[in-house]
Amino acid sequence: MREPNRRAAPMLIVGCVIFGLGSLIVKFVPVGAYAIAFWRLAVAAVIFWALSRFFGQKLPKSRQALRCALLSGAFLGFDLALWHESIYAVGPGISTLLNSLQIFFLSAIGFFFFGERLGKMQLLSLVMAVAGVALIASPEFGNNQNAGWGFASGIVSGAMLALSMVFVRKTHQAEATALFPMMLLVSLGGMVALVLPMLLLDSGNLYPTTLRDAGLILVYGAVMQCFAWGLIAYAIPLLSLSLTGLLLLSEPVAALVIDYFWLDKPINGLQWGGALLTLAAIYLGSVDN
């Protein structure tokens, strides 16, 4: 195996784990779900603008490419905000696991809009995922009055993430676009989409009120949105599809471990079983061609 490929797997794991650690910032910084998503993307926009200028990468000239990149950002903004809402309601572990169900929304979009066929393994994985989520949900609904909203927002966040990925693909179909300008446009699109819901829903907690909270939001934007995503984006093309699908599961696993051991969230045996079943379903759904 070539040296870059040997580095790719640990880089992917590190990127996913750092992504999962971002849920802790969301949990402990008293800024609204939409507002903290806005500030995360604002920090990222500044960084990607600077990187675009430094490396001389230009924005796409095609209007369709610009529209698609901005739409991808709008869906990403709502993905982040709804994921944050799910974190507040059911904790980082379950919310990150629900967000990872985006693989099934991608499959559905491919089937209904792009004529892609679903394999037997993908259909099996979908049944497994539904069963796994049901096992996780049943105890949660019994002892958490916010469980309904937590599961709904977590699952819809996965759908928003899938749509964001679709429009990244459509951007490249319209015009080949360099990485940093693409992510700059995605960040700007997300910021624009979040302004109104942020002002309406988070008017009482729009801004960080302490230097600590402001610093954590800077970390959230720079480290989770830029650095961790960069590691993942670098590593994925260097690895096989099956290994990529397996290693991407390190993000929800890390979030579940954090939830249980660090945040003392009660997760019983039935829920652990459902989590393992859902993780297996996500893996199978990601590697079937």
Tokens encoding 252: 């929800």
Q: Cα torsion at 11, 252, 87, 234 (round to 10°)?
A: 30
Task: Assess whether pLDDT exceeds 90 at residue 263.
Answer: no
Average pLDDT over residues 121-147: 88
**pLDDT at residue 13, as a whole number:** 85
Task: Assess whether pLDDT exceeds 90 at residue 252.
Answer: no
Calpha distance 20→246 (Å, rounded)? 16
Task: Assess whether pLDDT exceeds 50 at residue 1.
Answer: no
241 vs 35: which has the higher pLDDT: 35
198 vs 101: which has the higher pLDDT: 198
DSSP secondary structure letter of residue 7: H
Grade residue 272 by pLDDT with cuts at 50, 70 and 90. very high
Residue span of the structural domain in which 28 resides:
3-287
- Torsion sign (Cα): 99, 102, 104, 109: positive
Grade residue 4 by pLDDT with cuts at 50, 70 and 90. low
Digit-coded pLDDT (tens) for 58-94:
999 999 999 999 999 999 999 999 999 999 999 998 9
As to burial, measured by CB atoms within 10 angstroms (0-12 exposed, 13-18 middle, 19+ buried), residue 176 is exposed
Digit-coded pLDDT (tens) for 274-283:
999 998 988 8
Grade residue 191 by pLDDT with cuts at 50, 70 and 90. very high
Grade residue 47 by pLDDT with cuts at 50, 70 and 90. very high
Grade residue 288 by pLDDT with cuts at 50, 70 and 90. low
Count structural domains, the chain. Answer: 1
Task: Assess whether pLDDT exceeds 90 at residue 20.
Answer: no
* pTM for the structure as a whole: 0.89
